[in-house]
Each structure stands twice: as structure tokens, then as C-alpha cells.
Structure 1
Amino acid sequence: MPAQKPNLLFDFGGVIININYQLTVEAMRALSRASSTIEFNQQSQSELFDHLETGRLTPSEFRQGLRRHYDLEATDEQLDAAWNAMLLDVPAERLAFIAELRAQGHQTALLSNTNQIHIEEINRRLKTQYGFAHGIADCLDRVFYSQQVGLRKPGPEIFEHALREMNWKADETLFIEDSIQHIETARRLGLPTLFLTPPLTLTDALPAAIRAFSSPA
């Protein structure tokens, strides 16, 4: 039987923080002497980005890889600014909503494909805007970053790692995500899912998903 109050496993980009991948693509192209387009979007990305997001490349090695693969002529600061261009805002109402869900008894965790450069930038913004000492980790019971775990979605291993670490059962855990390839993996593992496609937002769609989860069949 599913739990009356499902565990909530959140993606980060496109769910809690707003994201625009095209802004980074355009910013990187502007730095390229050959007007190269980086191989990075919501659906897929090149090995360079995979390796950054699983901790197999340091930020310094990643920057050098960008320069080499895409003929970029830029300082470290310019590359970081272009890489961070995709990161938009974290709406206050989403943070308040997550706090309300935790107060209602839901256990919460984040499962995010991300990297050191983005983590540091997001944490800096959250500290400035909301006074968070530890970034988004201040709002959740646990945070799982691909860069720290060494695994990334859509591989099943990172889902299994998070469930094991949280001592959660798959069928008692609602996964909230905006990328279909990650939703598909979660479904194969037995997690109920909320596919958060535009124009839906977390605060719009999650209450109904929780009600549907908790209602008897």
C-alpha cells in the first residue's frame, strides 16, 4: 500500500529553479571563434558535460575542455558566466510550498544532475536572496547531486542510491521531474511520477499529484 503521505523526490532545474538552456548555448557561441554550438540541452549532452556532472572532471579541466572542443577564447570568469547563464530564479513561493509540505509530514529530497560550478553559483544566490547557509539543502531533508554521488540520471543507479540512502520504498516515493528520459527511468523502477511540463509549475501541479497518490484506487 502506498504511504498516505508520499516521500517527495524533486529534480532541481525546471522544477525548483527556473532554467533556460538556450541562454548558455548562446553565451558559449558568442565566445567561440568558430561560432561553435555546444552539445548540451535538456535531452542530451556530450561526454564533456557528463564527466563534469559526475565529478570526473574538475572545473578547471572542464573549462580547458570547453576551450579545446568548441574553439572558445575566454577567461575562466567568462566561461563560468556563460555556463551559469542558464540558471534563472528560484521563486519564493516554491520554497514556501516545500516548507509547507515538510510541515505536513512529507519527507523530501533532491536528485539533481549538476556540477560544482552551478552548485556554488546557486548557493551564492540563495544565500544573498534568502539567507540560506547551505543553499537548497536548507529546504530539504537530503540533497543528492550527481557531481558528488558520481552517478547521473537517467541511469537507474542514482535513483537506487537515493532510495537506499533515504530508506524509501519506490512505490511510496513521488518523483517530480521535467525531463522525460528521467521520468521513464523512475517509472521502470516503480516510482510514481509527476512530469512537470510547461506551463505547469511545482505549485500548480504537485498538490493534485499528491491527492491522486493518496487516494484509494
Structure 2
Amino acid sequence: MPTKLPNLLFDFGGVIINIDYNLTREAMRRHGSSIEFTQAAQAELFDLMETGRLTPEEFRQGLRKHYQLAATDPELDAAWNAMLLDVPAERLALIAELRAQGHQTALLSNTNQIHIEEINRRLREQYGFGHGIADCLDRVFYSQEVGWRKPGEEIFRHALEQMNWKAEETLFIEDSPQHIETARRLGLRTLFLTPPLTLQDALPAALRAFPREYSASV
């Protein structure tokens, strides 16, 4: 019997889409204040937004109040979206190739309604996707929609249960060490994607090494 191909669980930002947190911090600063937001940690306001406990309007009002920002709704949205860069076509092509080979795929992303709408709008315009990134994968799991966020275990368990995947048969591709740590604790295999490596650089080698743990390096 052929060996089952590993399931592929992708992070979004820094893995499929390029991001630069500094651009959002700089854009917010132009409206009056820096914000507490990095890849490793963020203020409670952002956690609440990413778990669907704030509407976009409540989030904007929270930004104005907490950081003394003087900006309109469109200006705040533009500053918040400034971190979102491009989705390279070669990454989408790699995912499509792996799906064609028989790999099951899913997205597991800490994100929010404003970012989801903006990214998917861009993908529709650039690539003609009817449903944005969901067109490229078997399933998407957004923290905004499921009510949990990484690095908590709940969102990983939810994705595995919904996909009917076993942890040991799943490769999690991520660029944040705290999320990798949770995945490993739950028994998933992991690919820690550290810059300047990209998905197309490191994923093929990680799949060849599967089920052994793979450490990408330049």
C-alpha cells in the first residue's frame, strides 16, 4: 500500500503572503502614535479583534482611544493593511502542484476581518479567485471566525478535528517560533520557515525528509 502523503497545514502571513509589520507601525505613527504590535506579541485590542470579539468599527474606535490616533476609518484601515504585501504566484503554484499530487491542505491563520477582506480582494483582482485564498486550499481556518488564536492549543485541535487529520501525519509550516512550539507539543511535524528562506525554498526538502523533523537553514 502506498505511503499516505502528509497533510499540509499552512500559516498565512510570512509563509504564503509577504508581510512587514514595520509598515503598519510607521503608518500608525503618522497618525499620532506607535502601536504595540509585533510578530511575537501584541496588545489585547488586537487579540480581541483576531478572535472575533470586536467588530471592525469597535477596533477602529479602540485604536483611536488607546493610541490617541486622529484618523478616519479609511485611513486607519489603510494603515492597518500596510503590513500586507504580495502573494507570489510561485507559492500558489507550488501549493496547487502539491494538491494535484494528493496532499490535503489547510490554512491556519491569526487574522481579522479587515485583513481577510483586503487580502482576498487583492487575490480576486490579481488572480481572479472567486473566494480569495480559499480557492487555493481544501479549507481555511481563521482565528477571527473560530474564536481561538495561535499559539493556543485549541485552534490547532479544532483544525485537526475538522480535517480529520492525525497530528503525526501533518506538516505545519510557520514562521513564528511560539506557534511552532505548540504544534510540536501536540505531535505535529513542523517546518519553521525563517527568513530569507521562502516556501518554495524549504517545503520540498521538508517533504522529502518527512516524517523526520526538518530544520531549514540557509
TM-score class, shorter: over 0.9
Rounded Cα–Cα distance in structure 2 between residues aligned with 1:41 and 1:138: 29
Helix, strand or coil at the partner of 1:93: helix
Cα-Cα RMSD: 0.8
Does the aligned pair in 2 maintain the 1:5–1:214 contact within 8 Å?
no
Identify the match of residue 34 of structure 2 among 31, 34, 37. 37
Asked if 1:14 corresponds to 2:11, the answer is: no
The residue that corresponds to 1:80 in the other structure is 77
Between the two structures, name the one with larger relative contact order (CA 8 Å, sep ≥ 6): 1
Q: Following superposition of structure 1 onto structure 2, how do residues 114-129 of structure 1 map, counting pairs within 5 Å?
A: 114-129=111-126
1:63 is aligned, of 60, 77, 80, to 60
What is the match of residue 176 of structure 2?
179
Deviation readout 1:98-119 (Å, 9 max, x if unpaired): 0000000000000000000000
**Any unmatched runs of 5+ in structure 1?**
none
**Partner Cα separation in structure 1 for residue 26 and residue 202 of structure 2:** 31
**Structure 1 consecutive aligned stretches of length 4 or more whose deviation exceeds 4 Å:** none
Partner residue, 1:113: 110
Is 1:205 the counterpart of 2:195? The answer is no
Partner of 1:95: 92
Offset at 1:165?
0.1
> Match for 2:28: what amino acid?
M
Letter in 1 for 2:26: E
* CA displacement 1:99-154 (0-9 Å, x = unmatched): 00000000000000000000000010000000000000000000000000000000
d(CA) in 2 for partners of 1:70 and 1:85? 17
Task: Give the distance between the partners of 2:178 and 2:46, measured in 1 at CA.
Answer: 17
1:6 maps to a residue whose letter is P
Normalised by the length of structure 1, the TM-score is 0.96
Provide the C-alpha distance between the structure 2 equivalents of 1:184 and 1:82, rounded to a whole number of angstroms. Answer: 31
Residue 4 of structure 1 and its aligned partner are, at CA, apart by: 3.7
Q: Distance in 1 between matches of 2:120 and 2:173?
A: 21
How many Å separate the matches in 2 of 1:165 and 1:127? Answer: 26
Percent identity for Structure 1 against Structure 2 = 81
- Corresponding residue pairs, total: 210
Partner in structure 1 of residue 189 of structure 2: 192
